[in-house]
Amino acid sequence: LWEMNVKGNVFSNLVIQRIPESTAEDLIVTSRDKKVYQFIVEMDCKVHLKRIIEFSSPIIATPWLERSFMVVVTINGELVIVSRQN
C-alpha cells in the first residue's frame, strides 16, 4: 500500500491512534536519528508526513500518546511532552 523511509534505526514500537474528531489516524515512529516522525493515515489508506520533530539525543523508547499530546523519552533521559496538534 505504501512505504516510508526514516534515516535511522527504529527500535520502538509503531504507535497508531485515531485523531480526535477525524476519520484519520496518527502513526508515530521514533528513531535513533533523534527524530519523531508523525504521519497521517487517511481512511482510504493514503499516508502523508505531518511533521518531523528533532530532539537532542536518539530515541529508542515507544512514545506514549494521549488525546492532545505525546510523551517522548530520549536515551539521555529527557522526558518531553509534545502537542499532537501542530
- Contact (Cβ atoms closer than 8 angstroms) between residue 65 and residue 78: no
Mean pLDDT calculated for residue range 33-56? 93
Which residues have a Cβ under 8 Å from the Cβ of 29 and sit 6 or more positions away? 4, 6, 10, 12, 14, 15, 36, 37, 39
| Domain range list for the chain | 15-83
Give the CATH number of domain 15-83; options: 2.60.200, 2.40.10, 2.40.160, 1.20.120: 2.40.10
Mean pLDDT calculated for residue range 16-38? 92
Mean pLDDT calculated for residue range 9-35? 91
